[in-house]
Structure 1
Amino acid sequence: MKELLTAVREGRHRDVPGLVAPLDRAERRLALAELKAVRKEARDWDWRERTRTMKAVLVAGAGCHTGAAGCAAWIGARELREWEHSPYPWVLKALADRDPVWLADLAHRLAARTVDSEAEYRLVVELVRMADCPLPASDGIVRGWVERINSARWRQRPYPPLTDVLRAEPYLGVLAPHLLDMAELPAPVAWPGYPGPDDGWPSALTILTAEGLLDRTLLLERCTTRLLRGGKSSDLRFCLLLLRGLEPTSQEEAERAADWIAMAADGPSPVAGHAQEVLARLDGHGLLSVAQLADVSGPVLFRTEKKLVRAQLVLLGKVLRRDPSAAGQLLPVVGEAFGHPDIGLQERALKLTARHLPSAPPAVRQDLADMAAQLGPAHRSAAVALFGDLLGDGQEADVYEEILPPAPVPRRLAPATEDTAELVEEVVALVRSGSREVPEFERALEGLVRCAHTNRTALAEALRPALAGMWWAAPGEQGEIDWRFIRNHDGPHVVVASLLGQVPEQAFAEGRARSAAAGTCFHAALNGVTHARLWEAAAAIRAGELPFLLATPTWHTGSLDPVELVDRLRRYRELGVEPGPADFAQALLRVRRTGGDEAAGRAAGLGTAEGDRLAAWIRAGEPVAPVLRHHVETEAPAARGWLRQSAAGARRILLATRERLVIQQEFPRAFHWLGRPHTPGSQTCYHWGSGSPQWTAVLPEDSETLAAWLLPFVATCAEDQRGGASPLPALVETAAPAGSAIHLALGYGLGARYPEDRLSAVDALLVLAARGQLDAALLGGELTVLIDRELVKPARLASSAAAAADTGAYRTVLAVLVPVLSALLSRERAPRGLSDLLAVAAECAERCGPPETGPIAGLATTAARGGSTQLVRQAARLQAVWDRSEAA
């Protein structure tokens, strides 16, 4: 055993199997205890020495384990797999004396663990060979098998056909079917074939199935199950290619009719399209009943994919022509398409209904007439002609009423709790969750300051055990903890840690100096304001001399009542407390300046420097940084370096802000960036990720200025980044007026790439409309410019407009789209997506009537072109609204 341990420490893993073999069971158990100590000790060694020793530890530990479970855990340990050349051949030698049943158990346990490499796959295969047992099929084993095939194939020149490589695989019949059971296919399997699609996995498996090397029935069953389960598009494409290659017979497809119906109803578009083709074939062979067709048609006609709905209507038409007696079952299903958002599909469904309505029973006719109420004015006359008295006189009974969400009302923040137990619960929840929401953050911060002033010892004693597991409370290198405090102190971490004595003086000095540094971009500037206030509170809370904070907002938006701030300053004067510079500066940025003449007079009457500053700030009534009312169009070169994010990407339309000297002269250094002039392209940003809720709380009364600074961030949502539009709802929720900056930011959001960003912009649009601050003409003009610059795509704008209209805000959406349509229709060549915008506008106009601004320029000309394109059809539909209005 001594020789074994010496060999292990010297990293002679090749000698280990021979040294393990003579040891009996007891000696191996003793050696294993020593090996665990060596393994722990080697973790702190130089990586070269550690790698050599760990390979020997791996071989020796595998040989010394007497139980298969422990041996599998030892071999599978991640720290024992840091090697360049595999030591597994020597592991197999060390296990050569084991019983086949034991080896089979080990193979199954290793297969159930993560198999990350070809070497681990070979280890399991060799164990199976030694044990003479079946190879276990697991996700890890299949991944290792695919990797081995892929690497072996690409090492040969010329590349051998994949079919030839797989044909020689002894475990093909076991592992290939398991591909269809995996949650996610290995990348080489899902990739298209190289050098061509005929050399991909689907075609190869199809050929091998035809040769009898794979069970065709098993593959068919698993393909169908995999398509039903769903997954990544590349995985589903593999399954579809394989399924088509297997060429199931009509009888085999009929046996799985319920599966095709489920796929057509709920599957992704490619899967639903294939299922629809199968069902059409089954109908052609007389293997699909009318009841089954009715069951699948309802959900398919409810889908948004026009191609699928159109194909289903065609199939229904074929069945009705062949069997008119089926009208009683199928026409009510056709009527579901009356509510489809696409006017062309509504027309198809109406024509199909008109063709076969004479064959329908009277009760079905009445049901269809009721469904026809969903049709818009464009099809109203045709519906009246078809259903007659069953439909009614066709007159609208109700006067249109715009539906907008309730205008947001600022919610008052609840006072900070004075109960220590309740405060501890709130602080622990905030710290552990990492929440940055303004109400929770401000309430906890105010509570900490107040309670530390009145009962600091009890608060510290209650918080210490509750936060014992935090990174700054656990044992560790103080330098690393200080570094994290200085650079990453979002939330009240530094305040709580300061209360518990976990922040040394040096960290205080460096942290406050860093937060006071001037920001290089809006991220650093806005975060720096919050950080400066946190460090200031952390310093004050150590002594517990500060009774409360001045900048704690009155409302959830971050705004502060001026009268309330005056009262706080008066209390400070009575207690002889000097306000913290950062706290008072933040209070000034948050205080409401509108209608504050009385508060300004009371502030001036305090007789203190802070009172005079507050009075002057309210009376000035100026924004923190005035926004220049012209577009700054930039043609900046591409940013250098993958980490560097230019504030003015090529062709973006951004806004500049003017200088505000009072910020630079009277505010702390951490606030100076806010008062400097800023022109797009003059700053470089290295920040990535979504916005912070606390940004709007820094400048709740200057949302227009904040929007101008956030434009470089918001504009990314119209390109290829997620989350750029996330600040928009909070920006428009404050009481501050909305100007060109907010409307421009809203324009970017409405044209965002990802649906979640577009929904954020739609929420902001509806809030602005509910508050009466939406300038539809201004927003339409901004959208026109963005579309002209190819910064916003009309199709994405149409998606946002449709989402807003679906809430009932038809008149609002139409007012925004009118100037956009006027500009786009005047172009010589219609941009892609214009028909979608016209469709949304037509839907809105049919609901609320034509806009008061009059006809849209170029609309009548486009509608009169003739033809069957969607552009002409939707233009004619919209023009018809004006024609009906004038006729009335």
Structure 2
Amino acid sequence: MGVRAVTRGVEKAVGIEKLIEAVRGGRAEEVPALLEGLGAAERRTVLAELKSLRTEVRGWEQKRPTEAAEVRRALYVAGAGCHPGAAGAATWLGGRDLLAWRSEDGGLVLRVVAGLPPEWLADVAGRLAARPAVAEHSYELIRGLVERSGRPVPATDGYVLGWAWQFRSGSRWRRSFEGPTLLERLREDPQTPALVVHALSMAESPDQLTWTVTEAPHAHWPTAVAALVAEGMVDRAAVLDAAVSRLLRGGRPRDLRFPLDVLRLVEPTAAEFRERIPDLVGMTADTPSPIAGYAQEVLAELAEEGALSTAALAEMTSAVLFRTEKKLVRAQLTLVGKALARDPGAADELLPAVAEVFGNEDTDLQGRALKLVARHLSAVDDSVRRELAAQAGLLSPAHRQTAVALFGEALEEEPGFPYEEILPPVPEAQPVGPPASTVEELVEDLLAKGVSEDPVRFERALDGLVRHAHRDREGVARAVREAFTTASWQEPYHFSYDFRALHAVLAGLLGLLEPSWIEDRRAREPESTACFHEALTGIRDARLWEASALIGTDALPLLLASPTVSTGGIDPLVLVERLRAYRDAGVEPAPADLAQALLRVLRTGPDAGRAEEEASALGTVAGRRLGARLRADEPLAATVRFLGREEDRSLETWSVFQRLVVELADRAVVREEFPPAFRWLGGTLETAPRRCYHWVTGGAHWAPILPADREVLAACFVPSLARGSSRETTEPLTGLAEAEGRVGRAVAVALALALGAGDADDRLRAVDALLVLASRGDLDGRQVGEELAWLVAEGSVKPNRLADAARTAAITGAYGTVWAVLGAALPGLLGGGKPVRGLGEVLAVAADCVERCGARGDLPGLDGVASGKGSSQLVVQAKRLRDALCP
């Protein structure tokens, strides 16, 4: 070997050493120059070292975080320059542990790959762009690779997100005179034509694209896009196709705002709309109201011009009249009326679609449709007339007389069967399956998505974790280390807000937290001013920290509090057997675990008496406490009341939430025998109105804490329902309806508030709870109605929301149940002063219920409203209700 070769070899070895040294030192800026002198073989050698170092750095996060971050920067750049293949380079650049440095060091990466072929650069760019999270944070790098390769723009969601973010300087936080406007910057970007079209098609629009003109007039994307279309920079047909296609797919209103605004501003011509009639008809069927309304307006204009065929109008009519929005239904009936006035011969096709409204829940809309059918019935043939008559059987009894006069013998006779109330089957609590039988199955349960949010799956996983850890702590710990990334668990703040509950127990298993820190949380008692949500969550947390402290030891062989049924309840005989196992093993039950088990044990089943005897015969303190719990008629109790003006004149302007007082009965046994986190159930919280200003979360876990004390559980839920400032406040109602125990005012108030919740999904859960309670025979409809009366009168429950919830419950077949509630609520709303605005909607539902279930009698205050003048909905529906009650 010659001297020159030896020298070259030494130089290369020195070059490799210097590069590795720079990477280990976190000097990313030096990497491009050091890589220049290395050939393919040397880079392969370096790559092996880099992979090893990357693995090593993963262990530095806790002790050397700053150093680890700098080394990752250098690794990111060096790895890109050492990978010979595009796939390997893209995988390296897309690594999650290098995420923080992608956007900052894209320029350095472009320097180290500058000499590679265009095909290689385009391949890497495409692979990175195909991964949404990577593309968004690596936009500058991907763009540089694309520009150097000369290949087409990779129009992907992630790349468009990164691209849109580059225009943030034109946001609402800057004034237009501080720099180029959004339109000017879009004009200058050669990638704009392709990326704008893709942005219109995205399932989730970038935030900047959804700002309104009011928020950011100089950064309003739809206005800029419309200008580019007008200038011819962006293809008009492509924009229209993308916008219409995106609107047709539907989705969240927020994500549809951008394509809708673009479509409005581009102002398609009648010819362009005619080409897209099928898509517009599709929009009227399933998209959100603003989109359906826009499509309806466009199609109405086409119909006025004679450009909409009768078949398309009939299809559109069927789609719109199936919707629940009254505004859209009324507009469609008007549109059909105009079409039939122009072309009476279209009645055969259009009237059967109109007859779909006969089954609408709104009797006013039924009446409008019936009038329209009556106006044009003479133009249809006999087969269509028979079809319409059959549909008329769906009309409310209020329109029966009109329908008989219209259709005569063709109308099917009204069935003479007596009314039968339809309620859902009484729900049966489902047994909770046994815990995982192997460690492998246990790990799958722990890793399953949403396990901490589902009480049943959570309890099953926790039970399995405790049992397996007791048998083989090291084996379970080893499996957990392999399955979970646990670095953040070593920081206490990880468990202070919105943490996955099982992580606390896993951290205890692995010894990641100081025992004193765990013990401090395990022994916490809620402050006397704490809200009930904090107190309920505190019970759950006390169990978790107790399990965290004891898991894997002889002190916790199994959990006493693991539910046996889906409501959170425990079969009393099963709990006796668990206590017997503890006694035989010579182990004292863990305090929080035992306390929760006592709260969960079901006291009303057929085995309660036998379980009481067997529990007392155990001869242990825990057995004695279980026997006492099973004997107690009412171990826990709560009352709900509202401060009135006579108590404090300053309350005149207070909300119902501010006037709410929840009092827990004094229970000495709870305060003396239960752990600190549970003692508030014995009456230690202040009885002043609850001050609860935090975000309400974790509601699914509250009902299983008190599955045998329904009234106390309801009392704990009432504050969040009364506040009504967030969605999903009715989430615990499902568990409440299926729980055991007394039903009193707390349950009635909770239902009344929930039936008037602002969110439709919340009201739907309230309806489910109402029907379940009714099917179990536990619903006091009169009491719920009386609570609704004053809540509606003082503005806490809005009539339109109550009407929506009541109508939803009624159309399931529970007309009698709903009338029992509304019949008790209406006297307080009809008598006295001026009726509350919107009460007519409630009267319409009440009238429908009475007509269906055949209720009879007088309703105080109804005559006074029904005898009023005018044709307002209030007066019309009051007369209808009076006629139904007193035929």
2:672 aligns with: 665
Partner amino acid, structure 1, of 2:43? R
Find the aligned partners of 1:59 and 1:489 in 2 and give their Cα distance.
35
Equivalent of residue 877 in structure 1, options 877, 880, 886:
880
- 2:164 alignment partner, one of 141, 146, 150: 146
Q: Which residue of 353, 364, 367 maps to 1:347?
A: 367
Query: Is the 1:441–1:492 contact (alpha carbons within 8 Å) kept by the matching residues of 2?
Result: no
1:715-747 residue CA offsets vs partner (Å, 9 max, x unmatched): 45x32132x323223333344220111111222
Match of 1:399 among 385, 400, 418: 418
Deviation at 1:388, TM superposition (A): 1.4
AA partner of residue 624 (structure 1): P
Aligned to 1:765: 770
Whole-angstrom distance in 1 between the partners of 2:352 and 2:247: 29
- 1:643 counterpart residue number: none
The equivalent of 1:774 in structure 2 is 779
Given the alignment of the two structures, is residue 30 of structure 1 paired with residue 45 of structure 2, yes or no? yes
Give the aligned partner of residue 859 of structure 2: 855
**Quick one: which amino acid aligns to residue 636 of structure 2?**
A
**1:184-223 residue pairs with structure 2 within 5 A?**
184-193=204-213, 200-223=220-243
Q: Provide the rounded CA distance (Å) in 1 between the counterparts of 2:322 and 2:198.
A: 35
User: Partner of 1:655: helix, strand, or coil?
Assistant: strand
Check 1:383–1:692 CA distance in 2 against 1; reply closer, same or farther (3 A cut): closer
Offset of 1:168 from its aligned partner?
3.0
CA distance in 2, matches of 1:331, 1:378: 21
Q: 1:187 to 1:604 in 2, by over 3 A?
A: closer
Q: Percent identity?
A: 44
Is the contact made by 1:423 and 1:444 (CA closer than 8 Å) also made in structure 2? no
Match of 1:843 among 829, 843, 848: 848
Partner of 1:631: 642
Three-state SS of the structure 2 residue aligned to 1:656 is strand
CA contact (8 A) 2:640 2:745 kept: yes
* TM-aligned CA deviation for residue 655 of structure 1: 2.0
Shift of 1:383: 1.1
- One-letter code of the match for 1:720? S
1 CA distance for matches of 2:120 and 2:580?
82
- Partner of 1:725: helix, strand, or coil? coil
Q: 1:704 aligns with which of 711, 717, 723?
A: 711
* Partner SS state of residue 30, structure 1: helix
Once the two structures are superposed, residues 315-370 of structure 1 have per-residue CA deviations (whole angstroms, 9 ceiling, x without a partner) of 22222222222222222112111111222221121111111111111121111111
Q: What does 1:456-855 align with in structure 2 at a 5 Å threshold? A: 460=471, 468-470=478-480, 480=490, 507=515, 514-520=521-527, 521=530, 522=532, 526=536, 557=567, 589=599, 590=601, 592=603, 621=633, 623-628=634-639, 630-632=641-643, 650-651=657-658, 653-667=660-674, 669=676, 671-678=678-685, 679-681=687-689, 688-693=696-701, 695-716=702-723, 718-722=724-728, 724-826=729-831, 828-850=833-855, 852=857, 854-855=858-859
Match of 1:162?
182
CA distance in 2, matches of 1:835, 1:194: 36
For residue 475 of structure 1, report the CA deviation from its aligned partner: 10
CA distance, structure 2, for counterparts of residue 89 and residue 504 of structure 1: 40
Change (3 A) 1:828 1:13: same
Instruction: Work out the CA distance in 2 between the residues paired with 1:168 and 1:317.
Output: 51
Deviation for aligned residue 1:26: 2.6
| CA distance in 1 between partners of 2:691 and 2:157 (Å) | 49
Deviations 1:64-83 (A, max 9, x none): 44433444444455555646
Amino acid at match of 1:174: A
Q: Cα distance 1:782–1:87, how it changes in 2: closer, same or farther (>3 A)?
A: same
Moved more, 480-489 or 701-710: 480-489
Aligned letter for 2:409? D
Report whether the alignment pairs 1:286 with 2:294: no
Contact 2:118 2:148 in 1 (8 A): yes
Partner residue of 1:183 out of 183, 186, 203 = 203
The separation in 2 between residues aligned to 1:444 and 1:131, in whole angstroms, is 52
- Equivalents in 1 of 2:244, 2:764: separation in Å? 35
Structure 1 CA distance for aligned equivalents of residues 273 and 312 of structure 2: 14
1:864 equivalent in structure 2: 867
Distance 1:726 1:877 in 2: 36
Q: 1:813 to 1:258 in 2, by over 3 A?
A: same
Distance 1:151 1:503 in 2: 48
Cα offset, 1:6, TM superposition: 5.0
Report how far residue 35 of structure 1 moved. Answer: 4.5
CA distance in 2, matches of 1:671, 1:445: 20
Cα 1:467–1:292 shift into 2, 3 Å: farther
Q: Which moved more, 1:136-145 or 1:532-541?
A: 532-541
- Encode CA deviations 1:701-724: one digit per residue, 9 max, x unaligned: 4221232233334445x32132x3
Structure 1 unmatched runs, 5+ = 637-647
SS in 2 for 1:780: helix
Q: Are 1:21 and 2:36 counterparts?
A: yes
Alpha-carbon separation, structure 1, partners of 2:337 and 2:603: 65
2:307 is paired with a residue of what secondary structure? coil
How much does 1:810 deviate?
0.8
Q: Secondary structure at the match of 1:651?
A: helix
- Distance (whole Å) between structure 1 residues aligned to residue 98 and residue 780 of structure 2: 65
CA distance in 2, matches of 1:546, 1:240: 60
**Counterpart Cα distance in 1 of 2:488 and 2:232:** 67
Distance 1:228 1:334 in 2: 24
Q: Residue 85 of structure 2: which of 49, 67, 71 is its match?
A: 67
How far, CA to CA, are the matches of 1:173 and 1:489 in structure 2? Answer: 44
Which residue identity does 2:866 align to in structure 1?
A: A
Distance 1:616 1:627 in 2: 20
One-letter code of the match for 1:855? L
Task: Calculate the aligned-residue CA RMSD, in Å.
Answer: 4.7
TM-score by length of 2: 0.81
When structure 1 is superposed on structure 2, of 817-826 and 483-492 the one drifting more is 483-492
Cα gap change, 1:10 to 1:85, in 2 (>3 Å): farther
Deviation of 1:832 (Å)? 4.3
Q: Which one-letter code corresponds to 1:469 in the other structure? A: A
| CA shift digits 1:739-780 (9 cap, x unpaired) | 111111222222223333323222221222223332222111
Deviation track 1:642-679 (CA, whole Å, cap 9, x = no partner) reads xxxxxx99525242122112323344555433213431
**Which one is further off, 353-362 or 149-158?**
149-158
- Residue of structure 2 aligned with 1:269, choices 281, 289, 293: 289
TM-score normalised per structure 1: 0.81
**Partner SS for 1:287:** coil
Which amino acid is the alignment partner of residue 220 of structure 2?
Answer: G
Distance 2:453 2:76 in 1: 46
Q: Could you tell me how far apart the structure 1 residues matched to 2:485 and 2:242 are?
A: 53
Aligned partners of 2:424 and 2:775 also within 8 Å: yes
Aligned-partner residue type, residue 662 of structure 1: V
For the structure 1 residues 218 and 376, does the alpha-carbon distance in structure 2 shift closer, same or farther, using more than 3 Å as the test?
same
Q: Which amino acid aligns with 1:27?
A: E
SS at match of 2:393: helix
Is the Cα contact below 8 Å between 1:633 and 1:653 reproduced in 2? no
By how many angstroms is 1:254 displaced? 2.0
Distance 2:557 2:400 in 1: 70
Counterpart of 1:470 in 2: which secondary structure? helix
The question of whether the paired residues in 2 share the 8 Å contact of 1:515 and 1:529 is answered with no
- C-alpha distance in 2, partners of 1:738/1:380? 40
